[in-house]
Protein backbone atom coordinates (compact mmCIF):
# COMPACT_ATOMS: atom_id res chain seq x y z
CA UNK A 1 0.00 0.00 0.00
CA UNK A 2 1.39 3.42 -0.89
CA UNK A 3 1.32 6.59 1.16
CA UNK A 4 -1.14 8.07 -1.33
CA UNK A 5 -3.52 5.14 -0.73
CA UNK A 6 -3.30 5.73 3.01
CA UNK A 7 -3.81 9.47 2.63
CA UNK A 8 -7.05 8.72 0.80
CA UNK A 9 -8.26 5.91 3.02
CA UNK A 10 -7.60 7.69 6.31
CA UNK A 11 -8.21 11.28 5.20
CA UNK A 12 -4.72 12.36 6.18
CA UNK A 13 -3.55 15.92 5.59
CA UNK A 14 -0.26 16.26 3.72
CA UNK A 15 2.00 18.92 5.24
CA UNK A 16 5.27 18.10 3.48
CA UNK A 17 6.89 15.70 1.03
CA UNK A 18 4.03 15.58 -1.46
CA UNK A 19 6.49 14.38 -4.12
CA UNK A 20 7.09 11.09 -2.33
CA UNK A 21 3.56 9.87 -1.77
CA UNK A 22 4.05 7.03 -4.25
CA UNK A 23 6.30 5.31 -1.75
CA UNK A 24 5.28 1.88 -0.50
CA UNK A 25 4.56 1.60 3.22
CA UNK A 26 5.86 -1.70 4.58
CA UNK A 27 5.10 -1.31 8.25
CA UNK A 28 4.47 1.03 11.09
CA UNK A 29 5.94 2.12 14.38
CA UNK A 30 4.26 4.15 17.09
CA UNK A 31 6.46 5.98 19.57
CA UNK A 32 7.13 9.44 20.90
CA UNK A 33 10.68 8.72 21.97
CA UNK A 34 13.15 9.57 19.24
CA UNK A 35 15.85 7.16 20.40
CA UNK A 36 13.32 4.40 20.58
CA UNK A 37 12.45 5.01 16.93
CA UNK A 38 16.14 5.10 16.06
CA UNK A 39 16.56 1.76 17.77
CA UNK A 40 13.42 0.04 16.52
CA UNK A 41 12.03 1.81 13.45
CA UNK A 42 12.55 0.09 10.12
CA UNK A 43 12.93 1.46 6.60
CA UNK A 44 9.53 1.92 5.00
CA UNK A 45 7.73 2.30 8.33
CA UNK A 46 5.02 4.84 8.89
CA UNK A 47 5.93 6.59 12.12
CA UNK A 48 2.99 7.47 14.32
CA UNK A 49 3.87 10.16 16.84
CA UNK A 50 2.75 13.30 18.55
CA UNK A 51 6.20 14.88 18.37
CA UNK A 52 5.98 17.80 15.99
CA UNK A 53 9.43 19.32 16.29
CA UNK A 54 12.16 19.34 13.69
CA UNK A 55 14.21 16.49 15.11
CA UNK A 56 11.61 13.99 14.00
CA UNK A 57 12.68 14.67 10.42
CA UNK A 58 16.31 13.81 11.19
CA UNK A 59 15.18 10.54 12.74
CA UNK A 60 12.89 9.70 9.81
CA UNK A 61 15.64 10.49 7.33
CA UNK A 62 18.24 8.50 9.24
CA UNK A 63 16.02 5.44 9.45
CA UNK A 64 14.63 5.88 5.94
CA UNK A 65 11.06 5.85 7.28
CA UNK A 66 8.24 6.21 4.76
CA UNK A 67 6.57 9.13 6.52
CA UNK A 68 5.78 10.82 9.81
CA UNK A 69 2.13 10.93 10.86
CA UNK A 70 1.17 13.34 13.58
CA UNK A 71 -1.83 12.29 15.62
CA UNK A 72 -4.65 14.14 17.38
CA UNK A 73 -4.59 16.77 14.64
CA UNK A 74 -1.27 18.16 15.85
CA UNK A 75 0.34 20.41 13.29
CA UNK A 76 4.07 20.20 12.53
CA UNK A 77 6.19 23.19 13.51
CA UNK A 78 7.34 25.48 10.71
CA UNK A 79 10.93 24.23 10.99
CA UNK A 80 9.72 20.70 10.70
CA UNK A 81 7.89 21.38 7.45
CA UNK A 82 10.87 23.23 6.00
CA UNK A 83 13.34 20.51 6.93
CA UNK A 84 10.96 17.78 5.77
CA UNK A 85 10.64 19.43 2.35
CA UNK A 86 14.43 19.70 2.11
CA UNK A 87 14.94 16.07 3.07
CA UNK A 88 11.94 14.85 1.12
CA UNK A 89 10.23 13.25 4.08
CA UNK A 90 6.41 13.24 3.93
CA UNK A 91 4.74 14.70 7.02
CA UNK A 92 1.07 13.80 7.43
CA UNK A 93 -1.55 14.82 9.96
CA UNK A 94 -4.37 12.64 11.26
CA UNK A 95 -7.29 13.75 13.40
CA UNK A 96 -7.30 10.36 15.11
CA UNK A 97 -5.42 9.54 18.32
CA UNK A 98 -2.47 7.17 18.00
CA UNK A 99 -4.31 4.08 19.21
CA UNK A 100 -7.14 4.43 16.73
CA UNK A 101 -4.88 5.37 13.86
CA UNK A 102 -2.69 2.31 14.44
CA UNK A 103 -5.80 0.15 14.61
CA UNK A 104 -7.11 1.52 11.32
CA UNK A 105 -3.73 0.95 9.68
CA UNK A 106 -3.64 -2.65 10.84
CA UNK A 107 -7.18 -3.02 9.57
CA UNK A 108 -6.03 -1.83 6.16
CA UNK A 109 -3.37 -4.51 6.16
CA UNK A 110 -0.37 -2.31 6.86
CA UNK A 111 2.00 -4.21 9.05
CA UNK A 112 4.98 -6.37 9.45
CA UNK A 113 3.14 -9.49 8.42
CA UNK A 114 2.66 -7.83 5.02
- Which range in 18-26, 46-54, 92-100, 106-114 contacts another protein by CB under 8 A? 46-54
Residue 19 sits in the site that holds another protein (CB under 8 A): no
Q: Considering the complex, state which of residue 50 and residue 108 has its C-beta at the smaller distance from another protein.
A: 50
Residue 36 sits in the site that holds another protein (CB under 8 A): yes
Contact (Cβ atoms closer than 8 angstroms) between residue 66 and residue 24: yes
CB-based contacts of 38, cutoff 8 Å, min separation 6: 59, 62, 63
DSSP E strands, 1-114: 13-16, 27-30, 45-49, 67-70, 91-93
Q: Are strands 45-49 and 67-70 parallel, antiparallel or unpaired?
A: parallel
- Which range in 18-26, 32-40, 68-76, 103-111 contacts another protein by CB under 8 A? 32-40
Residue 33 sits in the site that holds another protein (CB under 8 A): yes
Using DSSP's 3-state secondary structure scheme, residue 52 falls into coil
Question: Contact positions toward another protein, by CB under 8 A?
Answer: 32-36, 38-39, 49, 51, 53-56, 58-59, 62, 64, 79
Amino acid sequence: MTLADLVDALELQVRAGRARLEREVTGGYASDLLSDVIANGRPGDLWITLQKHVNTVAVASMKDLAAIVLVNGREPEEDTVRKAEAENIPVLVSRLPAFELAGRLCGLGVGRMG
